[in-house]
Structure 1
Amino acid sequence: MFEIRIICTPPEAPEITKALSETFTTGQVRQHPTRDGERVRLYVTAEQQPGHWPTPETAYATAPSIISEIGWTARGVRDCLHGIAVREFWLRKAALLDRVALTDDDPVSGEAATLATEAARRLMAIDHAAGLGPSGYADGPYTPDHPDSIREPRGYLRQEYALWHRHS
């Protein structure tokens, strides 16, 4: 938990308060005038919101084995190169790389994690180009261009994989 102090004009205060509550779990905002009386000071205690992405265990709970997915990915390259099932290919390839990265000694910044992140970004680019709106692929709350998705491409991937697998 931490405390945030912001000095702003009175008309800005509601918008700033709303943005803080969307970004953090916040306590009650305390507002006091500044010494000059022209601005206000906002004080709020805050903490990081709990993770909103599906956990790997949830996203991949019913996924085929890694060996099976390696085989599917190898077979799917041809279709992807011919413009068939491009999204499914990148979704499953990125999920495969994510699952491999999770077994690595460094699942966050190791070589496998870097490959998984890049594959997730490729999926996001495909989804963005397809113009997926707020509903995502299958009612996902985070779009590929949402700031949280951009910060955590593998979180976006897990959201989309869980939704895809549930609807496939």
Structure 2
Amino acid sequence: MFEIRVICDLDDTERVVAALDHTFTTGTVTVYPTRDGKRSRFYVRADHTPTNDTGNAKTDWPTPEAAYANAPSANDEMAWLLGHPYGRRGREWWLRRAAVNDRMVLGMTPRYTSSEANALDLAHRLIEMDNASVTGDPRAYVRQQYARWANSH
């Protein structure tokens, strides 16, 4: 994962954001005007697009259905998350939050939704917390880690 900073003409902003999105797996793009107001300045977290190589390639990750087969309901998961105050949120809390958000984006949680950008940001947070090197889809890393965690409990 890495961060990209771009400064471009206002007219080019949408085209540059689309090109970044096409080239990389990106998170939330934060856009600001430059000091002179004539250009856009934006920041984005990104990762390389998935490859078909071995290792952390997208094809090596579990499917969402397999990863979340034994997951609690979204209601139960949200209650568990809300029951942990800010100072007591360790890896398990961040893993479960990333996983439930991933499930929401995938439409696996009736009545609950989330944005892809939020799910991707949470996946990056877990990757950073684990100090992991992930190539490809960061949300697939969440699925892999959740499946491992679920099978050990």
TM-score range, shorter chain: 0.5 to 0.7
What is the identity, as a one-letter code, of the residue corresponding to 1:54?
Answer: P
2:95 aligned with 1:91: yes
Looking at structure 1, the residues matched to 95 and 58 of structure 2 have their Cα atoms a distance apart, in angstroms, of: 25
Partner of 1:42: none
Q: What is the deviation of 1:75? A: 0.9
Distance 1:65 1:123, change over 3 A: same
| 2:101 aligned counterpart, secondary structure | helix
Percent identity over the alignment is 38
Distance 1:67 1:156, change over 3 A: same
Q: What is the deviation of 1:85? A: 4.8
2:78 aligned with 1:70: yes
Return the TM-score normalized by structure 2.
0.57
Q: What is the deviation of 1:87? A: 0.2
Higher relative contact order (CA 8 A, sep 6+): 2
2:119 alignment partner, one of 94, 116, 119: 116
Answer yes or no: is the 8 Å Cα contact 2:61–2:144 preserved in 1.
Answer: yes
| 1:99 aligned counterpart, secondary structure | helix
Distance 1:57 1:165, change over 3 A: same
Which structure 2 segments of 5+ residues have no match?
1-51
Distance 1:96 1:50, change over 3 A: closer
Partner of 2:128: 125
Flag as ranges the 4+ runs of structure 1 deviating above 3 A. Answer: none
Return the TM-score normalized by structure 1.
0.52
Deviations 1:6-59 (A, max 9, x none): xxxxxxxxxxxxxxxx827xxxxxxxxxxxxxxxxxxxxxxxx87111000000
Larger Rg: 1
Aligned residue pair count: 96
CA-based RMSD of the aligned residues comes to 2.3
Which structure 1 segments of 5+ residues have no match?
1-21, 25-48, 105-109, 129-143
2:153 aligned with 1:165: no
Q: What is the deviation of 1:111? A: 6.0
Distance 1:111 1:100, change over 3 A: closer
